[in-house]
Chain A
Amino acid sequence: MQSLDRALQPGFADKVLSAQATFRTVMEAMARPGQVMQVEDGVGRPPSMMAGVAAIALTLFDQETPIWLDAPLSGAPDIGAWLKFHTGAPIVADPALASFALVAAPEQLPDLRSFALGSADYPDRSTTLVLQVASLSVGPMCQLRGPGIDGTVSLCASIAPADLFARLSINEALFPRGIDVILVDGRSLVAMPRTTRLAAAGG
């Protein structure tokens, strides 16, 4: 008998409806940066992967989206097999080739310039970072502004790395190229597209 954490896990119970619902949620989250959205419950996943990340993977990944995994995820024996079985997405070692990067230990996030930033002709061909963070409900408050936000929006979250917003400031100079980020805590997710800026920190 295989140990439970190595056994292949199922994906969505209802593939079509769950993927549609998750797609809608991620699209809403991207349209309203800083707002916490919930993906539906009941997605099968490897134990070390959060439900939100698993739902995003099952919805958005396919054979044409190379995936980069950080050290804890690529070291987990069940993650690669699960992604391959359910999505067919190739896993790449070079973050510059990846469409999505899954990061379980965001405090060790590599330099953002090592990921794909898109090209001037195709700015959409950049890496979308999916970070598993400690909490999206408690933590230091920050104010975000940008398209999709009426004025500013407050987000209380324990986000790693601590200098994430400082690092994301490369998006200002790169535009229209840049890195999009999705923060995930369990079933909750917050999107920060490349146009979102930090208005004020602390409070």
Chain B
Amino acid sequence: MDGNMSGNTLQERRQGAMQVLSHAPAADIALRMAELPLPPYQQLRAPENGLVMVRGRIGGDGAPFNLGEATVSRAAIRLHSGEVGFGYVLGRDGEKARLIALCDALIQSPDHASAIEVKVVAPLRAEMRAARDQAAAQAAATRVDFYTMVRGEG
């Protein structure tokens, strides 16, 4: 969740954006994307739903096992300037996968990367941090410290 805002490489910037976008509600992403001028693009892969096998381990050195299947949605988009973006999200929200693929493509485009970062990713990241901090503060307010009182015999 702690996406580094000023990631150096393109890959770090894409990863940082995905950390935020994959947890954000689709409506919030769509709302912020609507404010941006979007370049022409083409759907390489229309949004589709499928299953992935989730694998787990018990302990750090346990043998991997198949935990179960999870529903994912995916989409791929190519801007006319050539950048290809991919979106994979848990759940059946194909529209969210499409929006994320579009963001991923735009982040790779030199013309649109900063607009996406400033107008879409950064506000969502701030909202998410605020919500998490608030939840942490609420939990902290009810914290109980356990300690053992020293008996007065010594």
Contacts and interface: CB of A to CB of B under 8 A. Distances in A.
Interface stretch (A2-10, A33-41, A163-171): A2-10
Interface in B22-60: 42-46, 48
Contacts, number: 24
Contacts of B46: 13-15
A1 B82 contact: yes
Contacts of A85: 44-45, 76
Interface in A13-28: 13-15
Contacts of A10: 42-45, 78
Contact of A1 (B44, B81, B84): B81
B82 A15 contact: no
Q: Is the interface of A mostly helix, strand, loop or mixed?
A: loop
Q: How large is the interface on B (under 10, 10 to 19, 20 to 34, 35 or more residues)?
A: 10 to 19
Contacts of A7: 78, 82
Contacts of B42: 10
Nearest to B82: A2
A86 B46 CA distance: 11
Residue with the highest number of chain A CB atoms closer than 10 Å, among B43, B44, B45, B78: B44
A11 interface: yes
A149 to B, nearest CB: 39
Nearest to A3: B82
Nearest to A16: B48
Contacts of B78: 7-8, 10
Nearest to B43: A10
Contacts of A9: 44
Contacts of B43: 10
A166 B22 CA distance: 59
B44 to A, nearest CB: 5
A132 to B, nearest CB: 23
Given A9-B44, A14-B46, A15-B46, 7 more contacts: A1-B81, A1-B82, A7-B82, A8-B44, A10-B45, A13-B46, A86-B45
13 contacts: A7-B78, A7-B82, A10-B42, A10-B43, A10-B78, A11-B44, A11-B45, A14-B46, A15-B46, A15-B48, A85-B44, A85-B45, A85-B76
Interface of A: 1-2, 7-11, 13-15, 85-86
Interface of B: 42-46, 48, 76, 78, 81-82, 84
Closest A-B pairs by Cβ, 9 of them: A2-B82, A10-B44, A1-B82, A1-B81, A7-B82, A8-B44, A8-B84, A10-B42, A8-B78
